[in-house]
Structure 1
Amino acid sequence: MMQDKPHGRPQLKKNGFTFKQFFVAHDRCAMKVGTDGILLGAWAPVANVKRILDIGCGSGLIALMLAQRTAETVQIDAVELDAQAAQQAFENVQQSPWPTRIHIHQQDIATWAENNEQRYSLIVSNPPYFTPGVACSSPERDSARSTSTLDHQTLLSSAALLIEEEGFFCIVLPETVGQAFIELALEAGWHLRFRFDVAEYANRLPHRVLLGFSPSAGETVLERLAIRAEDTRYSENWCSLTRDFYLFM
């Protein structure tokens, strides 16, 4: 544990991004601030949540977004394996409006889950999804994007140990990976409660999918969003989802 004591875009500044209420430095993180994390942080259901867990928090982006969206009483734990990314997340949190609400833990999630008795009403993750052997620009980025460091079975089993019975486990994945993840989750006893397909343009197929699972059965809510309209301008739905975070929106 490390903590004891232009329109439609965030603003680039000093190797990071400035949002309306906080700044995220990411120069020491293999995975930079991007649309996937912003989607998950803006979309994840936060009604009535009491405690949140971010698995593989990277720069701390999603944890910071969720802190902005929730009440002062909501505590957020964020677990990150990579030491440099965890340290940068800690620094981002300390410089944010919520330094006492977000707690960064530099540890392997499987080990952390086995030794933690806390249960969470919301668990989020922007997880690795490439199979080992897919080349990336650096060993650090390869590690962050490859399922060799956090395979999806381990992610599901760790979340199962930590989720409340009525809680939600939410992730963002490429649409091509999403169906396989759904099947794996259903086999493990999860119930799909939310599916939010995201396309770059209104006239294109979805390229990302946000999924929400729960240990409890219930209705599955299906939604779709296009980031840009056919005229290439940002869609009203995208602006509505993200305007609390992006500058100049």
Structure 2
Amino acid sequence: MKRELRRGGFTFKQFFVAHDRCGMKVTTDGVILGGWAPLLNGQRILDIGSGTGLLALMLAQRSEPQVMIDAVEIDRSAYEQALENVAASPWADRIQVFHQDIKDYAEHDHGGYDLIVSNPPYFPEGTECRDEARSTARYSHILTHHDLLIYAEKLLAVNGRFCVMLPCALGESLQQKALSMGWFVSRRTWVKDVVDKAPYIVLLELTRKPSVCDEQWLITHQPGRVSYTEQFTQLAKDFYLAL
């Protein structure tokens, strides 16, 4: 099984992620979110739109053995691939993958998640994608940000945190939507490739309780992109083979 999985995917230090049947592949951005999301003292984690299962696997590696992780994925092929990736990992007994629309999941789950993470859809309707799987993974008309916030609120514990990652303009839009719905931004991190470039994604940590925002910056590469920064190295060193 492991030999078959390694035909198309990404090898990390403690696990492998096959992504040949998923609309969204393993990316540096996904790794950033998986390393950035706070664990605190939580016991339950939810990954919305899990795709390959990358975030669930990263959070399983980072968390204590008693922490349980649920991953919800609507696309059949991605769900099946996430199942395979989880089964081949050291944490198969701690991660459950559900083939379900998050709307249906939220209606039947009682919530109480200490941490919810999502790398949500962000391409607006009308943007061309190569195939239906990629369309499902990326189009915001499949799961609107308003709906995402509604379901996260329903599923989050009182003191829980909801973490999302988006391109900057859409991240600011989601933030304004969240503030209008009674959320608070407890942490915001702008991500740049190199120091002299504009940020291209923003990571938001949202909570339902009043909070002062901790503003941060993350630069991934040294000038010339010849090597990673110390910031990124510290975030990814437990995962990337080369670090």
Q: Would you say same fold, with TM above 0.5?
A: yes
Within the candidate set 11, 18, 21, 1:25 is matched to 18
Match of 2:95 in 1: 102
User: CA–CA distance in 2 between the matches of 1:130 and 1:231?
Assistant: 29
Q: Which residue type is aligned with residue 167 of structure 1?
A: G
- Is 1:53 equivalent to 2:43 in the alignment? no
* Higher relative contact order (CA closer than 8 Å, sequence separation 6+): 1
* 1:22 CA displacement: 0.1
User: CA–CA distance in 1 between the matches of 2:231 and 2:237?
Assistant: 10
Match of 2:235 in 1: 241
Q: Work out whether residues 118 and 163 of structure 2, in 8 Å CA contact, stay in contact via their aligned partners in 1.
A: yes
Q: Deviations over 1:183-223 (max 9, x none)?
A: 00111111110101100101111101100000111121111
Aligned residues: 238
Q: Work out whether residues 112 and 158 of structure 2, in 8 Å CA contact, stay in contact via their aligned partners in 1.
A: no
* 1:118 CA displacement: 3.0
Match of 1:207 in 2: 200
User: CA–CA distance in 1 between the matches of 2:71 and 2:6?
Assistant: 24
Within the candidate set 129, 135, 138, 1:136 is matched to 129
Match of 1:9 in 2: none
User: CA–CA distance in 2 between the matches of 1:99 and 1:181?
Assistant: 33
Q: Work out whether residues 36 and 126 of structure 1, in 8 Å CA contact, stay in contact via their aligned partners in 2.
A: no
Q: Deviations over 1:80-128 (max 9, x none)?
A: 0001101110110010000010000000001110111131000000000
- Residue 220 of structure 2: SS of its match in structure 1? strand
- Residue 228 of structure 1: SS of its match in structure 2? coil
Q: Which residue type is aligned with residue 51 of structure 2?
A: G
User: CA–CA distance in 1 between the matches of 2:73 and 2:137?
Assistant: 10
Moved over 2 A (4+): none
Q: Which residue type is aligned with residue 168 of structure 1?
A: R
- Residue 205 of structure 1: SS of its match in structure 2? coil
Q: Work out whether residues 195 and 209 of structure 1, in 8 Å CA contact, stay in contact via their aligned partners in 2.
A: yes
Match of 1:179 in 2: 172
* 1:48 CA displacement: 0.6
- Is 1:85 equivalent to 2:95 in the alignment? no
- Residue 201 of structure 1: SS of its match in structure 2? coil
Q: Which runs of 5+ in 2 are unaligned?
A: none
Q: Could you tell me the TM-score, scaled by structure 2's length?
A: 0.96
- Residue 166 of structure 2: SS of its match in structure 1? strand
* 1:231 CA displacement: 4.0
Q: Which runs of 5+ in 1 are unaligned?
A: 1-11
Match of 1:152 in 2: 145
User: CA–CA distance in 2 between the matches of 1:17 and 1:152?
Assistant: 29
